[in-house]
Amino acid sequence: MGTYISVISYLYIILIRRGSLLTKFRLNAFQLNAFQRLNLNLFHKGFILVFAPLAFELIFVIILACLLHQAEQEALREAHSKAIITKTNTLTKIFIDAGASVGAYSVSKNPDFGEHYELAVAQMEQELKDLKMLVKDNPRQLANLEHIEVSARRGLDLLNKIKISTDEGSRISSLIGSHRVYKELKGLIEQVESDLNGFVEEERRIERTSPQAQARARSYVHIFLWVGLVLNILLALVMAHLFFTGITGRLSTLSDNAVRLAKSEPLNESLTGNDEIASLDKVFHEMARALEEAIQKQRSIVETMPVGLFIINNNGIIELINPTMATMFAYKDNDLIGKHISTLFTKATEFEQRFDPIKLDSAKHDQKNSTSENIYEKLIGHVRELDAQRWTGEVFPVQLTLTSFKYKEGDRYLCNILDVTERHEIERLKREFVSTVSHELRTPLTSIRGSLSLLALGALGSVSEQAGKVIKIAERNTIRLINLINDLLDVEKLEAGKLEMVFDNVPFANIIERALESVRSFAEQYNITFETAQTNTVVYADGDRLVQVLVNLLSNAVKYSPRNGTVKLSIDETNDFIKIGITDRGRGIPTDFKDKVFERFQQVEAADAKQKGGTGLGLAICKAIIEEHGGTIGVDSEEGKGSTFWFILPLKTAVSSVAPEQIIENINKIHKSSKVKENRLEKV
């Protein structure tokens, strides 16, 4: 039976797996519900799965045993009836024997017949006793037997009387007596015979019905066996189904959920019930919900942030965008997907030149290591301002930033785009404001300065010594104010990238000469002398701006030098670079201030602005000018011993084939080598 169940379960599961048997058997749904409604846990389910078939089989076996027992009983009863019939026949024979023996004795008085009679009587007693034992379970037959016994005993009494009268009486009297006794005896014998016949007939009836009962019992067993088999199969099917829906099916739902969770797909409907599988499934659903919530949160951030986000692959094809992106570029929802990144920008931008798809393709075919990946790689971490173009053709300024990340299908780049139209507008307004204010300030200052100068120079007649002094003070401060405004304007231009540079080939000696000329009278006030180096180098630069830088650095050196000191202008050259250093023997710059001096409004001591004059903008302007030339500026200083402000210019600024990184590297090299040289000189 157990084999049946396992084979059927196996077949059932195969069927379920192959097709949707579940949908064909609507009955099962009901059973499933019933099973689920019970809210059983796995232990209970297992218990039912094992013990329900076991109980069924137990009942089956018990009933079968009963049926078999019944059949056996019927067989026994048949044998029993046969024994009774035999015994009854024997009894009849003995009875007749006894009668015959007495008859023969009374006629012949042969003692043998008397003995025979005695034996028959004894045998009859025994047989009656045995018969009583045999029918003791059948009250009716027992009553019949007792009735027969009474008649038999009366018969025996009569026979006894005949025998006794034979022994002692005369022949006639015995004959007369015998005749009457015989008559009575005959009636008795007939009675007993009929009773015995009835008795036997009863047993015969029992004996006759027994085979029928046996056959019936056998057919019951057969029927029961078949019905049991069918029921067993059904039970096995139900159990297999329950096992599948209640455990295996649920487990596969669970594992499917795990896979779905990993793929972040929607999970199957929650499993009902109260078992361990259901609670594990609940955990899965909670996890999925938490995950969904987290994703939702992130998504809402990404979708609502005012920054356009998009992802491109190695070939610059847009793969994903956020809604802001579509809005910003006036495209319909996902129309941007699949387009090349360059479609976002105007033809004029550097981006188009560098990231043209055709160029990218050719770059890819290039056997040398300049793959397209490198191009994007170079963009990473740099904030770039570009002109973007909407679908409508409208151009607007944006700020683009790239970051790369690894994806299973290769490298991807996350780009964010910020519409900087508003910022640009504000910057423009600021520039306009500064420009206007400066102009408005300059006009009255022109009058003031002109008037003061005219006074100071005595153009309007002589003034007293004290008045002259005051006029000088006013004039000096007016000039300072004018310088401040000029510097401010320069700084604003630098920030806006509008510092106009006119590049030309200029002999560097000429620049130095003009700068020295400008600061000579100033240096004379402090009694400072200059020590200069000679050069024949011609630089490709904006001469006026370089003069501005040199004047700034030289006048700073003069300001901070001790009186009667010397300011040294040194020149270091290679084929590609020129380095100019301006060294003073002033108080030097604290180490942590070295980088700050090139920032705006930074002076080492707050009092410097008053004492030394200056706006705190000069070095910031110098830095910007030098950087515009592709060079670099810096300071080496030792507190208390003096400072050397230096700048390095590439000699072939016009040639841009060298990558900026390369230039910086070279600058660093030359800077280091010149440092080493200086150190050697000092040692000598």
List of residues contacting another protein (CB under 8 A): 435, 438-439, 442-447, 449-451, 453-454, 457, 459-460, 482, 500, 502
Using the CB atoms, write b or e for 282-312: b if 16+ within 10 Å. Answer: eebbeebeeeeeeeeeeeeeeeeeeebbbbb
Least separation in angstroms between CB 470 and another protein: 18
Least separation in angstroms between CB 623 and another protein: 20
Using the CB atoms, write b or e for 608-642: b if 16+ within 10 Å. Answer: eeeeeebbbbbbbbbbbbbebbbbbbbbbbeeeeb
- Complex with another protein: residue 396 or 503, whichever CB lies closer: 503
Give the chain's largest Cα–Cα span: 220
Least separation in angstroms between CB 519 and another protein: 17
Least separation in angstroms between CB 612 and another protein: 22
End-to-end CA distance of the chain: 111
Residue with tokens 């299973």: 408
- Complex with another protein: residue 45 or 629, whichever CB lies closer: 629
Question: What span, in angstroms and rounded, lies between the C-alpha atoms of 148 and 142?
Answer: 10
- Complex with another protein: residue 309 or 441, whichever CB lies closer: 441
- Complex with another protein: residue 400 or 549, whichever CB lies closer: 549
- Complex with another protein: residue 269 or 500, whichever CB lies closer: 500
Question: What span, in angstroms and rounded, lies between the C-alpha atoms of 454 and 207?
Answer: 165
Question: What span, in angstroms and rounded, lies between the C-alpha atoms of 249 and 376?
Answer: 50
Least separation in angstroms between CB 493 and another protein: 8
Least separation in angstroms between CB 491 and another protein: 15
Least separation in angstroms between CB 520 and another protein: 16
What residues are paired with 264 via a beta bridge?
none
H or E stretch at 684: none
Question: What span, in angstroms and rounded, lies between the C-alpha atoms of 614 and 61?
Answer: 116
Least separation in angstroms between CB 492 and another protein: 12
Distances (CA, A) of 56 to 60, 201, 236, 670: 6, 44, 11, 99
Least separation in angstroms between CB 459 and another protein: 4
Least separation in angstroms between CB 427 and another protein: 17
- Complex with another protein: residue 249 or 543, whichever CB lies closer: 543
Q: Under a CB-based contact definition with an 8 Å cutoff, are residues 450 and 500 in contact?
A: no
Residue with tokens 């039976």: 1
CB atoms within 10 A of CB 433: 11
* 3-class state of residue 420 by DSSP: coil
- Complex with another protein: residue 173 or 447, whichever CB lies closer: 447
Q: What is the 3-state secondary structure (H, E, C) of 539-589?
A: EEECHHHHHHHHHHHHHHHHHHCCCCCEEEEEEEECCCEEEEEEEECCCCC
- Complex with another protein: residue 216 or 439, whichever CB lies closer: 439
Long-range contacts at 223-230 (CB < 8 A, ≥ 24 apart)? 224/63, 224/64, 224/67, 225/64, 228/60, 228/64
Least separation in angstroms between CB 449 and another protein: 5
CB atoms within 10 A of CB 220: 17
Least separation in angstroms between CB 432 and another protein: 12
* 3-class state of residue 230 by DSSP: helix
CB atoms within 10 A of CB 584: 26
From the list 486, 503, 573, 485, the residue with the least C-alpha distance to 544 is 503
Least separation in angstroms between CB 501 and another protein: 8
Residue with tokens 């100019």: 580
Least separation in angstroms between CB 363 and another protein: 37
Strand ranges, E, within 154-211: none
- Complex with another protein: residue 502 or 684, whichever CB lies closer: 502
List the structure tokens of 288. 């999925």
H or E stretch at 333: none
- Complex with another protein: residue 84 or 494, whichever CB lies closer: 494
Question: What span, in angstroms and rounded, lies between the C-alpha atoms of 416 and 350?
Answer: 18
- Complex with another protein: residue 455 or 663, whichever CB lies closer: 455
The C-alpha angle 476, 480, 486, rounded to 5 degrees, equals 145
- Complex with another protein: residue 200 or 547, whichever CB lies closer: 547
Least separation in angstroms between CB 543 and another protein: 12
DSSP-assigned letters across all residues of 96-151: HHHHHHHHHHHHH--HHHHHHHHHHHHHHHHHHHHHHHHHTT-HHHHHHHHHHHHH
- Complex with another protein: residue 131 or 546, whichever CB lies closer: 546
